[in-house]
């Protein structure tokens, strides 16, 4: 029996995309700083010109899943990180945006087989969001670390000889069920 676990080394070949919503920019900029810091400290070139990360800005968190799916489907990225902030107001708008963003990001990951990190802060108040984006800790760092770990894990599974059930049609990994053999009895 094999044990597979992502790691944070040998990152020189990994490629990432970060999709970030511009809404709640104060929170977003801090999450982006934390995420880039985590990636850079683990060997990722975060330069916007010749780096290992592509950056895509969208209006807000609701738009994030569609772009994340499109990026993941290209096969050019080992992981996609979605960053955003949804802060509760006095209407149900928060519930719709946060819920649909979460569902959309999960669906995109399942559909493409590419890790897509849910890095969207959901908070009841601006104070809570600020605490999660840098005052107490920076969740952006955690989102970057999650992307590194998942990209590494998926790479290990693709390269495994243990019959895990992963194949690479073209350039992108897709989960497949192991072939069943007919029982002659």
What are the catalytic residues?
93
For 56, the enclosing helix (H) or strand (E) is strand 53-58
Cα separation, 94 vs 2, whole angstroms: 43
Task: Give the 3-state secondary structure percentages of the chain, helix then strand then coil, rounded to 5.
Answer: 40, 20, 40
Structure tokens at 51: 């780096």
- In eight-state DSSP terms, residue 138 is B
Helix (H, G, I), strand (E, B) or coil at 133: strand
């Amino acid at each position: 029996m094999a044990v597979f676990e992502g790691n944070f080394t040998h990152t020189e070949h990994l490629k990432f995309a970060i999709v970030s919503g511009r809404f709640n920019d104060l929170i977003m900029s801090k999450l982006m700083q934390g995420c880039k810091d985590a990636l850079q400290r683990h060997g990722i070139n975060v330069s916007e010109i010749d780096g290992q990360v592509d950056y895509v800005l969208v209006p807000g968190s609701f738009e994030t899943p569609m772009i994340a799916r499109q990026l993941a489907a290209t096969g050019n990225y080992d992981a996609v990180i979605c960053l955003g902030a949804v802060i509760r107001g006095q209407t149900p708008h928060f519930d719709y945006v946060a819920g649909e963003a979460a569902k959309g990001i999960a669906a995109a990951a399942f559909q493409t087989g590419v890790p897509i990190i849910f890095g969207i802060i959901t908070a009841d108040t601006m104070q809570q969001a600020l605490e999660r984006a840098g005052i107490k800790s920076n969740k952006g760092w955690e989102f970057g670390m999650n992307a590194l770990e998942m990209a590494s894990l998926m790479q290990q599974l693709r390269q495994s000889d243990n019959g895990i059930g992963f194949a690479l049609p073209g350039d992108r990994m897709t989960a497949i069920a192991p072939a069943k053999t007919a029982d002659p009895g």
